[in-house]
């Protein structure tokens, strides 16, 4: 039990000897922040304003040697270890009460090899960091859809985005990683080296160490793509979703569209008389011949008059960042998802009904169209299991006032529970985990036992456990 008046971070720090801390400070070359330091309060905050954790030490690493030093210190002094890349995991896994944060945010370098068509990015890089460099050569890798997201958590847990149907998950584009494991060793994992570890990090989350760099394959994308972004009138929501279901049945893999139920924003770009109405919108892109773009998406709006239509040619980097302002730092978030084998009438009804009942107009219910390249890789080829599911529904509870926490979390949980009862629903996605309260097996399916074996080999003491945790097998007495 913490001493009265002390935070969990202060309590844990008080249990460390001055000699141990002084030795750590001598060896660590980056910046160390402790609870008494002026910058600590800001440094312990993450993207999700719901998270209010107090670590003992925030170790802002300047390079791989600092990562090794921080991991070793955490192991030797039995401190919970959290890893901060972009800090965007909705469950707040980047910080832990009383632990040490291995903060990679200063390690955000990106190097492109245009001839080999690869890019290597450090573990603290964001999607925007990578896109900015790769687009200089008209190249991109398959990442997410919000540029401020860190590549680390996104990739280790899967990575859906605008390019997924054409080029697969973010983790499918990995060629190698450098990772510091629990014993303080830096290893390279690839299809040729430490292959078991490479299998595990592609979908196994942060269970196996601190990934300090990611090497991805690149593809010809941009610098301009055709973007679909259309909002429909509220009374056309059901019909718009019917058009969407028809379209995804034959959609080319060069195109991807996310349909989402939302409320019309109170913005001047939207007719004021429709502000706050529950409706349906669609966001997507097409990377084929620009002359074909309008025809590719034409069926989605057939017979419907859009409320607003922002569609047209756009820089790929602009597409990747256009949602950034919708997900600012400090807003309160609770996101959960369920995979679907089909988009039935029941699914559409549920999506529209929960959109109408949400306590916050900032929340959405999203329907992801997956399949394509994602589904063509065997489910046991990487740790990522749910490749066979062509769709995913996500309840994104987004709100501002802490007094509304319970109402918004309950809304999302009730929506997920009702969806889960449908015959077409199963599984969970690691990047939309709620607060990691669901059984870990729901993420990993039949890959779970192999993950346990690898975890037991590389992290037998479960040093890395702030994520959707795969626990190692108990040590023999």
442 assigned to some structural domain: no
Residue 440 CA to its chain's centroid (Å): 16
Tell me, yes or no, whether 436 lies in a domain: no
Residue 5: the pLDDT is 81
- In this structure, is residue 340 part of a structural domain? yes
What is the β-pairing status of strands 57-60 and 100-103? Answer: parallel
Position 466 in a domain: no
Same domain, 286 and 370: yes
Hey, which residues does 227 pair with through a beta bridge? 285, 312
Query: Given this model, what pLDDT does residue 289 score?
Result: 82
pLDDT, residue 292, reads: 87
Decide if 56 is inside a domain: yes
Per-residue pLDDT of the chain (477 residues; tens, 9 = 90+): 445 689 999 999 999 999 999 999 999 999 999 999 999 999 999 999 999 999 999 999 999 999 999 999 999 999 999 999 999 999 999 999 999 999 999 999 999 999 999 999 999 999 999 999 999 999 999 999 999 999 999 999 999 999 999 999 999 999 999 999 999 999 999 999 999 999 999 999 999 999 999 999 999 998 999 999 999 999 999 999 999 999 999 999 999 999 999 999 999 999 999 999 999 999 999 998 878 888 999 999 888 999 999 999 999 999 999 999 999 999 999 999 999 999 999 999 999 999 999 999 999 999 999 989 999 999 999 999 999 999 999 999 999 999 999 999 999 999 999 999 999 999 999 999 999 999 899 999 999 999 999 999 999 999 999 999 999 998 754
Spell out the residues 6+ positions from residue 223 whose beta carbon is closer than 8 angstroms to its own.
135, 138, 315, 316, 317
Q: 134 and 173, same structural domain?
A: yes
Q: What are phi and psi of 403, to 5 degrees?
A: -65, -15
- Examine the fold and report which residue of 189, 220, 251 is the final residue of a domain before the chain moves on: 220
Quote the number of domains for the chain: 3
Closest by CA position to 343, among listed 429, 255, 228, 423: 423
We report the CATH number of the domain holding residue 240 as: 3.40.462.20
Judgement on whether residues 364 and 241 belong to the same structural domain of the protein:
yes
The CATH number linked to 22 is 3.30.43.10
On whether both 306 and 407 belong to a single domain, the answer is: yes
Q: Domain check: are 306 and 203 in the same one?
A: no
Tally of CA atoms within 13 A in the half-sphere of 321 that contains its CB: 13
Same domain assignment for residues 261 and 372: yes
209 and 190 in one domain? Answer: yes
**Which of 426, 444, 460 is a domain's end point?**
426
Domain boundary among 220, 248, 283: 220
**Contacts with 24 (C-beta within 8 Å, 6 or more apart), sequence order:** 32, 69, 73
Residue 452 lies in a domain: no
Q: How many residues does the chain have?
A: 477
Residue 154 and residue 52 in one domain: no
Residues 49 and 193 in one domain: no
Written as one string, the DSSP assignment of 70-138 is HHHHHHHTT--EEEESSS--TT-TT--TTSEEEE-TT---EEEETTTTEEEEETT-BHHHHHHHHGGGT
User: Residue 474 domain-assigned?
Assistant: no
Domain range for 307? 224-426
232 and 314 both lie in a single domain: yes
Let me know whether 296 and 422 are in one domain: yes
* 447, part of any domain: no
Do 16 and 83 lie in one domain? The reply is yes
Take residue 146 and report the two structure tokens written for it.
């919000």
């Amino acid at each position: 039990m913490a001493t009265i008046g002390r935070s969990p971070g202060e309590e844990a720090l008080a249990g460390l000897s001055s000699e141990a801390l002084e030795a750590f400070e001598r060896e660590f070359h980056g910046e160390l922040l402790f609870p008494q330091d002026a910058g600590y309060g800001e440094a312990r905050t993450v993207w999700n304003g719901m998270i209010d954790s107090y670590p003992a030490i925030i170790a802002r690493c300047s390079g791989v040697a600092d990562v090794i030093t921080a991991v070793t210190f955490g192991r030797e002094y039995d401190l919970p270890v959290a890893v901060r890349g972009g800090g965007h995991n909705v469950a707040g896994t980047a910080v832990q009460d009383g632990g040490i944060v291995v903060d990679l945010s200063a390690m955000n370098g990106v190097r492109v090899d245009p001839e080999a068509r690869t890019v290597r990015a450090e573990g603290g890089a964001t999607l925007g960091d990578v896109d900015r460099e790769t687009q200089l050569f008209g190249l991109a890798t398959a990442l997410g859809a919000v540029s401020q997201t860190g590549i680390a958590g996104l990739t280790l847990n899967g990575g859906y985005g605008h390019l997924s149907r054409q080029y697969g998950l973010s983790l499918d584009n990995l060629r190698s990683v450098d990772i510091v494991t629990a014993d303080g060793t830096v290893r390279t994992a690839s299809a040729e080296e430490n292959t078991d570890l490479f299998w595990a990090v592609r979908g196994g989350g942060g269970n196996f160490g601190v990934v300090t760099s990611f090497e991805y394959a690149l593809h010809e994308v941009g610098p301009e793509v055709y973007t679909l972004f259309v909002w429909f009138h509220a009374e056309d929501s059901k019909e718009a979703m019917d058009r969407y279901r028809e379209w995804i049945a034959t959609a080319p893999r060069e195109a991807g569209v996310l349909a989402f139920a939302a409320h019309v924003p109170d913005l001047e770009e939207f007719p004021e008389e429709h502000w706050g109405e529950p409706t349906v919108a669609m966001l997507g892109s097409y990377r084929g011949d620009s002359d074909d773009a309008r025809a590719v998406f034409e069926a989605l709006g057939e017979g419907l008059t859009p409320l607003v239509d922002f569609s047209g040619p756009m820089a790929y980097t602009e597409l990747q960042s256009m949602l950034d302002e919708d997900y600012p730092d400090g807003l309160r978030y609770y996101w959960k998802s369920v995979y679907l084998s089909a988009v039935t009438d029941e699914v559409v009804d549920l999506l529209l009904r929960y959109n109408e009942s949400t306590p916050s107009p900032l929340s959405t219910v999203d329907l992801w169209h997956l399949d394509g390249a994602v589904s063509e890789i065997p489910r046991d080829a990487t740790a990522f299991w749910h490749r066979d599911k062509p769709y995913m529904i996500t309840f994104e509870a987004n709100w501002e006032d802490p007094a509304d926490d319970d109402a918004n979390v309950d809304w999302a949980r009730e929506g997920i529970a009702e969806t889960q009862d449908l015959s077409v629903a199963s599984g969970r996605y690691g990047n939309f985990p709620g607060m990691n309260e669901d059984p870990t097996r729901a993420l990993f399916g039949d890959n779970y036992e192999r993950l346990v074996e690898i975890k037991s080999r590389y992290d037998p003491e479960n040093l890395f456990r702030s994520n959707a945790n795969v626990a190692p097998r108990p040590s023999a007495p």
